[in-house]
């Protein structure tokens, strides 16, 4: 507005909007939208001369037209000082299928057999040149589905990884170096000493679909690299130790142990990695680096350290030596007391991606295991078996690679977490009830299906609750465990008490017996996970 002196001033009116926590998210958004100031109104009153308003309007119009064009021309690839971020196109969107997990027979011998079979199928690594090579949209969509259920929690959306937690596997340079067989081996037999657990439950077709999805990534400036999987170098391990300490240890740990040492890089000195990677694979990685990650090129004039190929051979010799030293010690299961401090470290590396910080869980994704009621009902042996055997039909895969001591440390950490109003519950693992499954089917449909799925399949059905009708769960819990859960609920979660006067449905103990009988019937039908 103009004052008596003829000067122009600007009047800006600021409204205090309610917080989403005060009014509800939907109402807050509505009020914010309604309260958003519009240009050239009394609330944002810019009373400039007409000619200036015309000029300003023209500039705004030009910017509005040109800004979207920037994104069309760059194809969504971010470039900053030579660092590029790869992105996997989001396709499909279908809900994930139920994935069976067969925990039987998982040991060193079956894994060794799988490893030998996979290694025998290595083929030259070539990054696909054209998207037409992956024109089967159904396979890509299925691969994305499987990736989202089995891999996304660690490797993140679009497989971009997370520094200090999980590597990028949607990376241009990784996909150029890694053969399909290399990726397949990593998925099926896991990576010893890391959170990458064996996944022999995934079929050949399912693994192929995941690989196809990864290779469908659109990357900028694709490269071709030929890796000789049979080539071996004769480097000097002693000289390599000095170079590793100088150039590699800050990111990969002093012994190449990776994330468990609290460093941002992967465990390149662990036997699980070294059994899968050839000498030439490691050398080409040192030459190429990993675009969009902290891993830079180290060999040649463009390398961060201008190392020679001979230096690379020395580093590889040192890593091979470390791989022999980093073999896990024999599992000791007697008289082992857990350490909560070590347990937090192991939890953060192996469990936090799904169960969230401090085990609080995430509705529709992973249950809370820091929960007062869960810790009161679940025994140490129950938690131990869940960790080591996994849960059939869920993303909770077997972790036989975790030593007894590590599992004990994780349990000790969970037990040490403070909870409000702790309770003590005695569960009889020998109790078995004789409920009526037919009656239980009706009650389950009325009170349980909305959260746990019509067949008790849980998260994979797109519901907020875990799979309580899956054989993996039912084989690990007693009838009394389920009864006490129905009676107690899970404080801080959608699971409320259902029994007695305080229960939201005022069910009787007999009603619970019927529901348990129906769950046992479901478990037999869901034994395949399908």
Tell me the per-residue pLDDT of 76-122, one tens digit each, with 9 for 90 and over: 333 333 333 333 433 333 333 333 333 233 233 333 343 444 434 44
Answer yes or no: do 206 and 182 share one domain. Answer: yes
- Same-domain status, 259 and 299: yes
Identify whether residues 67 and 117 lie together within a single domain: no
Higher pLDDT, 341 or 217: 341
Q: 326-360 burial, b if ≥16 CB within 10 A, otherwise e? A: beeeeeeeeeeebbbebbbbbbbbbbbbbbbebbb
Classify 49 in phi/psi space as left (phi over 0), alpha (psi -120 to 50) or beta: beta
- Which structural domain range is residue 434 located in? 340-525
Q: Note whether 99 and 68 are same-domain residues.
A: no
Last residue of a domain, one of 43, 74, 105: 74
Nearest to 365 by CA among 394, 330, 402: 394
CATH number at residue 351: 1.10.760
**Closest to 417 measured CA to CA, from 301, 338, 476:** 338
246-267 pLDDT, tens digit per residue, is 999 999 999 998 887 888 899 9
| Domain assignment of residue 1, yes or no | no
* Tokens standing for residue 466: 């875990």
pLDDT of residue 238: 95
Residue 60 has what pLDDT?
56
Q: Return the structure tokens found at 15.
A: 């409204």
* Predicted confidence (pLDDT) per residue in 323-372, tens digit: 888 765 544 554 568 999 999 989 988 898 889 888 888 888 889 888 88
Q: Confirm whether 80 is domain-assigned.
A: no
Q: Report which listed range, 32-36, 84-88, 236-240, is most confident.
A: 236-240
Assess if residue 176 is contained within a domain. yes
Task: Say yes or no: 68 and 206 in one domain.
Answer: no
Supply the pLDDT for residue 108: 34
- Domain co-membership, 218 together with 240: yes
128 within some domain? yes
Per the structure block, which two tokens stand in for 427? 């569960």
* Spacing of C-alpha 481 from chain mean position: 29
Residue 313 shares a structural domain with residue 376: no
- With tokens 């499987």, the residue in question is 146
Shared domain check, 94 and 60: no
467 within a domain of the structure (yes/no): yes
> Is 461 contained in some domain?
yes
252 with 319, same domain: the answer is yes
Number of folded domains in the chain?
A: 3
306 and 208 in a common domain: yes
Residue with the larger pLDDT of the pair 518 and 324: 518
Task: Single out the residue in 27, 51, 74 at which a domain terminates.
Answer: 74
**Residue 373 domain flag:** yes
Q: What's residue 317's pLDDT?
A: 95
Looking at 50, 74, 98, the residue that finishes a domain is 74
> What is the pTM assigned to this prediction?
0.49
CATH number of the domain encompassing residue 148:
1.10.760.10
Q: Give the least confident one: 42-56, 139-153, 452-466.
A: 42-56
pLDDT at 82: 36
Helix intervals (H) in 151-219: 152-155, 172-177, 180-189, 204-215
Same domain, 402 and 275: no
Mean pLDDT of 478-491: 92
Same domain as 102, residue 68: no
* pLDDT number for residue 131: 35
Q: Is residue 79 part of a domain?
A: no
């Amino acid at each position: 507005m103009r004052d008596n002196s003829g000067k122009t001033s600007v009047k800006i009116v600021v409204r205090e909007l309610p917080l989403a926590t005060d009014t509800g998210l939907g109402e807050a958004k509505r009020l914010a939208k309604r309260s958003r100031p519009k240009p050239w109104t009394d609330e944002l009153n810019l009373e400039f001369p007409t000619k200036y308003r015309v000029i300003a309007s023209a500039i705004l119009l030009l910017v509005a037209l040109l800004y979207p064009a920037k994104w069309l021309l760059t194809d969504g690839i971010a470039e900053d000082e030579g660092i590029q971020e790869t992105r996997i196109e989001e396709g499909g969107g279908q809900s994930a299928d139920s994935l069976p997990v067969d925990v039987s027979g998982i040991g060193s011998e079956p894994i060794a057999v799988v490893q030998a079979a996979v290694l025998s199928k290595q083929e030259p690594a070539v990054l696909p040149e054209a998207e037409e090579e992956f024109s089967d949209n159904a396979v890509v969509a299925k691969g994305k589905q499987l990736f989202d259920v089995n891999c996304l929690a660690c490797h993140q959306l679009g497989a971009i990884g997370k520094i200090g937690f999980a590597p990028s596997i949607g990376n241009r340079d990784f996909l150029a170096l890694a053969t399909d067989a290399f990726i397949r081996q990593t998925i099926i037999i896991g990576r010893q000493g890391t959170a990458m657990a064996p996944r022999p439950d995934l079929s050949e077709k399912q693994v192929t679909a995941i690989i196809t999805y990864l290779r469908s990534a659109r990357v900028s400036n694709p490269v071709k690299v030929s890796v000789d999987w049979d080539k071996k170098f004769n480097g000097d391990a002693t000289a390599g130790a000095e170079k590793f300490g100088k150039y590699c240890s800050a990111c990969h740990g002093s012994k190449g142990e990776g994330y468990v040492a609290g460093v941002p890089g992967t465990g390149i000195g662990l036997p699980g990695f070294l059994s899968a990677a050839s000498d030439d694979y490691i050398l080409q990685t040192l030459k190429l680096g990993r675009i969009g990650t902290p891993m830079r090129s180290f060999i040649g004039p463009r390398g961060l350290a201008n190392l020679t190929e001979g230096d690379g051979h020395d580093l590889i010799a040192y890593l091979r030596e470390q791989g022999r030293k980093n073999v896990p010690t024999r599992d000791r299961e007697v008289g082992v007391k857990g350490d909560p401090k070590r347990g937090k470290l192991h939890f953060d590396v192996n469990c936090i991606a799904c169960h969230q910080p401090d085990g609080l869980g995430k509705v529709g994704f992973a249950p809370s295991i820091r929960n007062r009621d869960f810790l009161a009902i679940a025994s140490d042996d129950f938690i131990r078996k869940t960790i080591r055997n996994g849960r059939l039909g869920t993303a909770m895969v077997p972790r036989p690679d975790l030593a007894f001591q590590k599992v004990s440390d994780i349990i000790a950490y969970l037990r040490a977490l403070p909870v409000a109003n702790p309770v003590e519950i005695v569960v009889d693992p020998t109790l078995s009830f004789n409920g009526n499954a037919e009656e239980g089917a009706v009650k389950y449909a009325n009170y349980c299906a909305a959260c746990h799925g019509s067949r008790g399949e849980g998260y994979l059905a797109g519901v907020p609750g875990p799979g309580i009708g899956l054989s993996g769960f039912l084989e690990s819990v007693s009838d009394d465990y389920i009864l006490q859960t129905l009676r107690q609920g899970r404080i801080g979660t959608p699971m409320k008490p259902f029994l007695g006067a305080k229960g939201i449905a005022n069910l009787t103990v007999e009603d619970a017996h019927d529901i348990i009988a129906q769950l046992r019937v479901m478990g037999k039908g869901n034994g395949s996970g399908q």
